[in-house]
């Protein structure tokens, strides 16, 4: 894999950047390995968070080659029931609000295996996906979700718009992956029709800081958004944010609605989000210095809890071989000497080993009938409610979960 270092902000091009958190050198968090690769040297890159003092964007400047990260991708949205449920409601809401005209057309950037587009298609809406991962685009096309196996760009937008412009362009947990945000917005402006809407969901920086969600920082996520820098970006392209809605998924997400200026009345909540961010101090470095110290303390606390449980003779394993889980494992130095294995529902991950820490991954069947004082480190803590509800048998048998974020607690 290759990595390059930027020295300017990807929104305002400022060089006025400050390091706010260093998670050390880590392998890309989705680069699971096979047992045959154990003797190979793994690629590791700096995982460092910077803050722009001019437009307030929080971002990575160490950029791993996107071809290496995304052309073959192991995360599948269809493997997560909470996300599928979220997408069903999402499609219904967007359809009712913005797709009432004749022959509406929805395009999704980073459409993964087509789970969200499938919901729009069920509603009778024309759809197209844009997905760089060859394996996922193939899956989507095989299930009749029309998908272009390409990275999104303004050139691609120009090509697509020759045949038809989009009523709605959607992007979920993908905008943070894009290095060239100016080309993205140029492409969006080309792709949406005059009254068209661009809707995207991203993890919210405020939640990341308040809940100490350091494990959502990984090489794929180049930008960590609050509203202030997004305003700076969209204003450069004659676009405007007209609505923002908080979502519960992924530990705290915002859904942002953008269109060409004066198409929609700007809702009061937009100003409320801006005011909140100024009140929290996202425009000065004090909040980030505090965050950095709290994350370091949390790392020590998580490791201490696990070592104490190990000393007490507890059998420890991980629940969820997520990207965020791999960041936590590497930063906290938790390897296969501490966790016996990890279980995960994604078939593509089962049978592999976690990057850097080399913990084997199995299907959830591995814990059938288990409990008896066993402890599961809940790496997929963002699905805590759903997992606790699902694993009643494990808990009835005496098993417990250690939830690491925002502070370790045994349940």
Candidates 89, 125, 91, 131; CA nearest to 108 is 131
CATH class of 313-410: alpha beta
**What's the pLDDT score for residue 84?**
80
Check residue 250 and give its pLDDT. 64
C-alpha 320/C-alpha 307 separation (Å) is 20
β-strand 400-403 against 375-378: which pairing, if any?
parallel
Long-range (24+ apart) CB contacts under 8 A made by 228-232 are: 228/55, 228/56, 228/274, 228/277, 228/278, 228/282, 228/283, 229/11, 229/12, 229/52, 229/55, 229/56, 229/57, 230/256, 231/274, 232/11, 232/12, 232/55, 232/57
Q: Which of 321, 359, 322, 319 is nearest to 337 (CA)?
A: 359
Q: How far apart are the C-alpha atoms of 218 and 220, rounded to whole Å?
A: 6
Extract the runs of DSSP E, i.e. beta strands, from 81-161: 105-109, 126-130, 147-148
Residue 368: the pLDDT is 81
Label the pairing between strands 342-343 and 316-319.
parallel
Of the candidates 114, 164, 169, 109, the one whose C-alpha atom is nearest the C-alpha of residue 138 is 114
Domain boundaries, the chain: 313-410
Q: What is the pLDDT of residue 74?
A: 64
- Cα dist from 73 to 85, 112, 140, 203, 220, whole Å: 22, 9, 13, 20, 11
Q: What is the pLDDT of residue 251?
A: 62
Instruction: Name the pTM for this structure.
Output: 0.89
For 322-332, the pLDDT digits (tens) are 999 999 999 99
Provide the phi-psi class of 109: left if phi over 0, else alpha when psi is between -120 and 50, else beta: beta
Q: Tell me how far apart the alpha carbons of residues 176 and 225 are, in angstroms, rounded to a whole number.
A: 8
Q: What is the CA radius of gyration of the chain?
A: 21
**Angle made by CA atoms 302, 308, 310, in degrees to the nearest 5:** 105
Contact in structure between 222 and 10 (CB atoms under 8 Å)? yes
190/161 Cα distance (integer angstroms): 7
Q: What is the DSSP letter of 41?
A: P
Question: Nearest Cα to 42, choosing from 302, 335, 380, 381?
Answer: 335
Tens of pLDDT, residue by residue over 251-283, are 678 999 999 999 999 999 999 999 999 999 999
For residue 402, give Cα distances in angstroms to 287, 297, 346, 389. 28, 17, 21, 15
Q: Which of the residues in the chain have pLDDT under 70?
A: 71-75, 79, 250-251
The pLDDT of residue 79: 67
For residues 195 and 258, give the distance between their C-alpha atoms in angstroms, rounded to a whole number. 11
- Could you check whether the bond before residue 406 is cis, i.e. omega within 30 degrees of 0? yes
Give the per-residue pLDDT at 20.
96
């Amino acid at each position: 894999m290759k990595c390059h270092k930027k020295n300017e902000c990807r929104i305002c091009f400022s060089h006025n950047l400050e390091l706010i958190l260093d998670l050390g050198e880590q392998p890309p968090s989705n680069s699971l390995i096979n047992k045959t690769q154990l003797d190979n040297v793994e690629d590791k890159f700096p995982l460092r968070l910077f803050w722009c003092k001019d437009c307030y964007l929080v971002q990575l400047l160490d950029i791993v080659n996107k071809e290496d990260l995304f052309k073959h991708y192991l995360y599948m949205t269809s493997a997560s029931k909470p996300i599928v449920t979220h997408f069903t409601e999402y499609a219904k809401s967007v359809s009712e609000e913005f797709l009432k005209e004749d022959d509406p057309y929805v395009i999704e950037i980073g459409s993964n295996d087509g789970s969200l587009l499938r919901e729009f298609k069920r509603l009778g809406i024309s759809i197209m996906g844009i997905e760089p991962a060859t394996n996922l685009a193939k899956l989507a096309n095989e299930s009749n979700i029309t998908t272009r196996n390409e990275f999104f760009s303004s050139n691609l937008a120009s090509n697509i718009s020759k045949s038809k412009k989009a009523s709605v362009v959607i992007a979920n947990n993908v905008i943070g992956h894009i290095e060239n945000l100016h080309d993205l917005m140029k492409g969006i402006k080309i792709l949406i029709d005059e009254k068209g809407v661009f809707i995207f969901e991203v993890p919210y920086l405020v939640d990341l800081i308040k809940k100490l969600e350091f494990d959502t920082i990984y090489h794929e996520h180049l930008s960590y958004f609050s509203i202030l820098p997004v305003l700076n970006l969209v204003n450069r392209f004659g676009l405007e944010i007209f609505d923002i809605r908080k979502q519960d998924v992924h530990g705290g997400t915002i859904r942002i609605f953008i269109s060409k200026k004066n198409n929609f009345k700007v809702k009061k909540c937009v100003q409320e989000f801006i005011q909140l961010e100024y009140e929290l101090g996202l425009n000065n470095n004090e909040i980030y210095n505090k965050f950095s110290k709290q994350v370091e303390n949390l790392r020590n606390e998580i490791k201490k809890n696990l070592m104490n449980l190990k000393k007490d003779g507890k059998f420890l394993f991980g629940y969820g071989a997520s990207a965020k889980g791999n960041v936590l494992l590497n930063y906290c130095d938790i390897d296969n000497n501490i966790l016996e294995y990890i279980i995960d529902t994604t078939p593509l991950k089962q049978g592999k080993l976690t990057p850097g820490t080399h913990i084997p991954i199995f299907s959830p069947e591995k814990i059938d009938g288990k409990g008896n004082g066993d402890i599961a480190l809940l790496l997929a803590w963002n699905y805590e409610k759903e997992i606790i509800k699902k694993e009643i048998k494990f808990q009835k048998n005496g098993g417990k979960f250690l939830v690491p974020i925002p502070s370790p607690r045994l349940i």
